[in-house]
A and B are shown apart, each in its own frame.
Chain A
């Protein structure tokens, strides 16, 4: 398969970026999107040019390190898929593909497609945990937890922290990310004591970090690789007012 790529190049955080065109040829449909970029990068290196910087690591959809906008959609044309598990068979031969970094005030561009998502760590820092000391804990089976509660908590806990929800949102809101952590811990008995304080802290920290407000468009859940539902945002809002 052959493609025309228009890729955002920006040498440093302060410099101006622009879309640069590259054509790639002879790509197997079974090549992943990132492997297609590897191929392009290797050809750039051989010409002595700087390769395109992009984030990636596990390449199996779980570390959350990869992610950029492909034809205007976070992680590309498939729903619930990370960029690294997207393959070229999902594109048309000779298609023009526009590749840009995630855009959000809280995610400044570092270089090319690589952005700074440390704001997400700061939200967790503010209270996204159960304050238990390591090493000591009561016998695990002493608190039975219903299978439904655990599965519900898992649905939220599955968040990989990629930031696609923020990038997909017209307000660049981190509501889905924040709600996922609140909801994960709120559904478990161990998380109850700190629940109100946690909810308040996380919501307020996300606001302070420059993430926008949620206006319930649902764009985030369409792109979420872990299919985290905006139902968690409703729960967060309800719990925030209660707190």
Chain B
């Protein structure tokens, strides 16, 4: 599959690590205020990355159009992030610094991210907290009135800012309100219930998009000087995941088919603390915030044939396996490690619950030390949510939790400017691969989405626009490229609805999700991945011949909406397996069974795999291009949390 030996370069600015971003900003081209209104920008997705970028660009004076599939920009899935957002403010005076945060993030990602990008993320983190507070985000405060922090996995300082268990919601409302302000001022046109179905490229440059109105079925063209994809992650490919039902990979996949390279698509974070699957009816696995691991202790019974209820199992017959295996970090071990450790215990037969597919998350000790009221204050809404969904009171008995697909570290490849390999096409937030390497640390995703949208794109996108030639500045939805792209989408939706086969879209999606979770989930092997690729190919063929979509494409059609997404998932799944298959090492969330240490930890191979796997689309399989990772400031070490 790897046939090309060309390399990608990321346009990292010159200078020492801590001056690179400043140097970039100093030299970036500008567009004068009077000229900005003659440029149009399309933003696809209105989560934290999309809303913050759209609001910022509109404030600068550009004409912005936003597109989201939800019925309001406020509903994008950033809303569901619970625990918090990291920033190197060092308010706790516990040894934090920009460098420390940079190092934690790079190490958390198992040294598979660019130093310069990660440093910039840490550098911009403090400003984001200032910004959010100015917008009215009600972060938790100490009684003195100063901002409070808590700890998250993979770090030994308290740098996480939070708004109860609804930090994502509050940050998104801040960005959404900034966006609505610009809609009111006429600088942003907001298209809700619209889904991007194609990217229009002319002479190798992004010129616009084709969208379908999900309420009416109307297919329309939209032209712009630049297109920004902020369409989020594609973890819903596993069917059962922590993501919203509508989350999808179609925008990035269709851009990929038009020339944008993807990077490390198989790096999926499987989150350790989710509600376990309880039956076949299930449509999603709800996340319980990682913040619970600050006070909850994770354990399974030490005896294989344990039948007693959790409260009746004495301390010495419990296996607090994270504390046992990783004493330095204990229950706050990073997500990839915590998930794999849970899987190891569950696979060995120690799982709890009716399907023996869960582990306990126990607050007994926290409640006896701090009292119920204190625990309620910190996590009340999470305990309420747990009770609503499971009917169980977690103050009285331990929660049952299990790993579930959560975050896509992979996505569209972007350079330091967040530009994809197609000029004029940018990717921000979870839609890009970038700062998280092979494993994202908790509370860094809200941060990355906001930093991309509020702080980076407002410099790099104008830099691109200012360099456009007079010829490139003329935009129009007429012309053969738009014509052809629109026609292809019309044909695609017609063809799908005319198949009238015998199986539902969800049926295919469930089969694909199970397949991917088994072969390209928490652990992977070359034989399994080869088997998965063959199975995905035949599933794709069955889908194209046998999917059943009632109704027609020229009006609201929920099944068609799902079908276009699943059609893309089938292609993405194949590329994920190809990606996992060619990386003959274990790193972060990518755990290849053939490459592990004697104690079952991931065995990284820096000599051969210190690169980003970038993929070029091909009808008969993808072609890999490398971006070498160079470490000038940090020496990659074995990632130990013991």
Contacts and interface: CB of A to CB of B under 8 A. Distances in A.
Interface string B145-181: 1110000000000000001101001100100111011
Nearest to A47: B550
A129 interface: yes
Interface stretch (A98-106, A154-162, A166-174, A211-219): A154-162
B286 A60 contact: yes
Given A150-B141, A154-B163, A184 B55 contact: no
B281 A134 contact: no
Contacts of A64: 72, 74-75, 79
B567 interface: no
Nearest to A159: B173
24 contacts: A42-B506, A42-B507, A45-B548, A46-B502, A51-B559, A53-B558, A59-B284, A62-B169, A87-B391, A118-B72, A118-B192, A125-B180, A129-B136, A130-B135, A133-B59, A134-B56, A134-B178, A134-B458, A135-B458, A137-B131, A138-B134, A146-B143, A157-B138, A161-B74
B305 interface: no
Contacts of A190: 133-136
Contacts of A184: 136, 138
Interface of A: 12, 27-28, 30-32, 34-36, 38-39, 42, 44-46, 48-51, 53, 55-65, 78, 81, 85, 87, 89, 110-111, 114, 116-118, 120-121, 124-141, 143-147, 150-151, 153-154, 157-158, 160-161, 184-185, 188, 190-191
Given A129-B177, A144-B145, A58 B506 contact: no
Contacts of A150: 138-141
A35 B286 CA distance: 14
B385 A60 contact: yes
Given A62-B166, A63-B79, A140-B147, A134 B52 contact: yes
A230 to B, nearest CB: 20
B281 A35 contact: yes
Contacts of A134: 52, 55-56, 59, 131, 178, 454, 458
Interface of A is mostly: loop
Given A49-B550, A140-B132, 5 more contacts: A59-B286, A130-B136, A132-B135, A138-B134, A143-B133
B555 interface: yes
B601 to A, nearest CB: 32
Pick the most buried of A50, A135, A139: most chain B CB atoms within 10 A of its CB: A135
B145 to A, nearest CB: 3
Query: Which 9 A/B pairs are nearest by Cβ-Cβ distance?
Result: A144-B145, A129-B177, A137-B134, A137-B130, A154-B138, A57-B244, A140-B133, A63-B75, A125-B184
Contacts of A124: 74, 176-177, 180
Contacts of A140: 89, 129-130, 132-133, 139, 147
A31 B284 CA distance: 11
A61 B183 contact: no
Nearest to B389: A85
Given A46-B504, A124-B177, A130 B134 contact: yes
B455 to A, nearest CB: 7
Nearest to A123: B180
Nearest to A121: B72
Contacts of B556: 53, 110-111, 114
B372 interface: no
Contacts of A137: 127, 130-131, 133-134
B281 A39 contact: yes
A219 to B, nearest CB: 21
A151 B164 CA distance: 9
B70 A65 contact: yes
A184 to B, nearest CB: 7
Pick the most buried of A58, A139, A151: most chain B CB atoms within 10 A of its CB: A58
B287 A60 contact: yes
Contacts of B147: 140-141
A31 B281 contact: yes
Nearest to A86: B388
A28 B178 CA distance: 43
A154 B138 CA distance: 6
Nearest to B453: A134
B480 interface: no
B618 interface: no
Contact of A58 (B77, B89, B388): B77
A128 B72 contact: no
B80 interface: yes
Nearest to B82: A62
B143 A65 contact: no
Contacts of A127: 184
Given A59-B244, A63-B244, A65-B75, A131 B181 contact: yes
A96 B559 CA distance: 27
A155 B287 CA distance: 22
A60 B146 CA distance: 31
Interface residues of B, number: 82
Contacts of B388: 61, 78, 81, 85, 87
Contacts of A145: 141, 145
Contacts of A58: 75, 77, 79-80, 244-245
Interface in B280-313: 281-284, 286-287
B327 interface: no
Interface in B59-118: 59, 70-77, 79-80, 89, 91
B366 to A, nearest CB: 21
A147 B145 contact: yes
B509 to A, nearest CB: 11
Nearest to B145: A144
Contact of A147 (B141, B244, B504): B141
A204 to B, nearest CB: 14
Nearest to B283: A35
B130 A138 contact: yes
Contacts of B555: 12
A49 B147 CA distance: 55
B319 interface: no
A153 B138 contact: yes
Contact of B183 (A53, A85, A87, A125): A125
Given A45-B504, A81-B388, A141-B147, A62 B80 contact: yes
Given A49-B550, A57-B246, A125-B183, A135 B177 contact: no
Contact of B136 (A46, A56, A62, A188): A188
B278 interface: yes
Interface in B309-342: none
A31 B141 contact: no
A133 B245 CA distance: 33
B284 A60 contact: yes
A167 B312 CA distance: 47
Nearest to A147: B141
Contact of B184 (A35, A126, A191): A126
Contacts of A111: 556
Contacts of B279: 28, 30-31
B632 interface: no
A149 B176 CA distance: 22
Contacts of A136: 131
Contact of B91 (A12, A138, A141): A141
A81 to B, nearest CB: 6
B145 A135 contact: no
B124 to A, nearest CB: 10
B467 interface: no
B573 to A, nearest CB: 22
Nearest to A111: B556
B142 interface: yes
Contacts of B245: 56-59
Interface in B470-523: 500, 502, 504, 506-507
A135 B52 CA distance: 10
